[in-house]
Amino acid sequence: EIVLTQSPATLSLSPGERVTLSCRASQSVSSYLAWYQQKPGQAPRLLIYDASNRATGIPARFSGSGSGTDFTLTISSLEPEDFVVYYCQQRSNWPYTFGQGTKLEIK
């Protein structure tokens, strides 16, 4: 099973700041990595697929990069609604796995 490790677990930032979230895989997942955003009480929403492709309707302030074992999600300028939880997920091998999540908090 491929383990995805997200860091840090929690980040305290202010609106308008730039943030980079990290996801590291225990073995190569090529570019088969996605990022999801989850707001309280809601289902996850796809942000980025295949490491760097923005999903339909996702604002340009969200971008993804990486390949192999190291990936990042960057939010260029935080909006108030961005202070929620983010998960990475690999589809390179079954079982599909998710990272444990990174929570963005307002400083």
Residues lying near another protein in the complex (CB under 8 A): 34, 36, 38, 42-46, 49-50, 55-56, 87, 89, 91, 94-101
The minimum distance between CB 91 and another protein, in angstroms, equals 6
The minimum distance between CB 78 and another protein, in angstroms, equals 22
Closer by beta carbon to another protein, 40 or else 80: 40
2-33 burial string, b = 16+ CB within 10 Å, else e?
bebebeeeebebeeeeebebbbbbeeebebbb
- The rounded distance, in Å, linking the Cα atoms of 19 and 21 is 7
Closer by beta carbon to another protein, 38 or else 74: 38
The minimum distance between CB 75 and another protein, in angstroms, equals 19
Closer by beta carbon to another protein, 80 or else 95: 95
* Secondary structure (3-state) at 91: coil
DSSP letter for 84, please. S
Distance of CA 29 to the CA centre of its chain: 15
The minimum distance between CB 64 and another protein, in angstroms, equals 12
